[in-house]
Amino acid sequence: MLHRVKMRAKGIGQEFSLTVDDIKIPSVCPVLGIPLVIGGPLNNAPSMDRLDSALGYVPSNVRVISYRANLLKNNGTVEEMTAVLRDLKNIAPKQERRFLECISSVTVFVRHKQACPDKDRGRDWQNCSCSKHLSWSLNGKQYRKTARTRHWDEGCEVAQRLERALHAHPHEEF
């Protein structure tokens, strides 16, 4: 992440003075409340956010949020975001309530066996044959369940199906 941000700063002609010690990756996105996962779904990936886009990448002007939150914030002004929110409230009050009630992103993680040689690589390690599980939050409650597979790609497919179901039926238990 640090290298990408440094290249971006250079490309747009902004100051860069960050070190590895300046980057703190929280477990949850401070904007959307979704888990931040390295190697998981792109929307949950940690992303560097400049608090003031006119300033550079300096310790007092950056934080780590989810890729999804950063994408939403990309280049809209507060006034534009307010106008979009006002429009959503006017044209889709039921859909907006569902969205607010069900801000959920399903992530895949590994539960390593005791004998797994990769167990020290963490929950995000994709290349072992240990069972894959799913994690998500719904209406402020955390959920976990097995993906019923030992393959990361299949776990991601199960996670995507579950996420679609959660958004379609936010009040059902899964």
- Supply the range of the domain harboring residue 42: 2-73
Residues 153 and 105 in one domain: yes
Between 3-12, 103-112, 157-166, the lowest mean confidence (pLDDT) is in 103-112
The answer to whether position 85 is within a domain reads: no
Q: Please determine, for residue 33, whether its predicted confidence score (pLDDT) is greater than 60.
A: yes
Q: Which of 57, 73, 89 is the last residue of a domain?
A: 73
Residues 48 and 110 in one domain: no
Cβ atoms of 163 and 103 closer than 8 Å:
no
Cβ atoms of 97 and 71 closer than 8 Å:
no
The answer to whether position 96 is within a domain reads: no
Residues 56 and 108 in one domain: no
pLDDT for position 173: 63
Domain count, the chain: 2
The answer to whether position 92 is within a domain reads: no
Q: Please determine, for residue 100, whether its predicted confidence score (pLDDT) is greater than 50.
A: no
Tell me the pLDDT tens digit for each residue of 38-88.
888 888 899 999 888 888 899 999 999 998 888 888 767 788 778 877 777
The answer to whether position 23 is within a domain reads: yes
Q: DSSP character for 48?
A: E
Q: Is the whole-model pTM more than 0.95?
A: no
Percent of the chain beyond pLDDT 90? Answer: 28
Residues 117 and 57 in one domain: no
pLDDT for position 93: 52
Residues 58 and 117 in one domain: no
Return the CATH number at 51: 3.30.40.220
Cβ atoms of 120 and 114 closer than 8 Å:
no
Alpha helices in 14-74 (DSSP H): 67-73
Q: Please determine, for residue 123, whether its predicted confidence score (pLDDT) is greater than 50.
A: yes
For residue 116, which amino acid is it?
C
Q: Which of 24, 53, 73 is the last residue of a domain?
A: 73
Q: How far apart are CA 38 and CA 9, in angstroms?
A: 22
The answer to whether position 91 is within a domain reads: no
Residues 109 and 53 in one domain: no
The answer to whether position 78 is within a domain reads: no
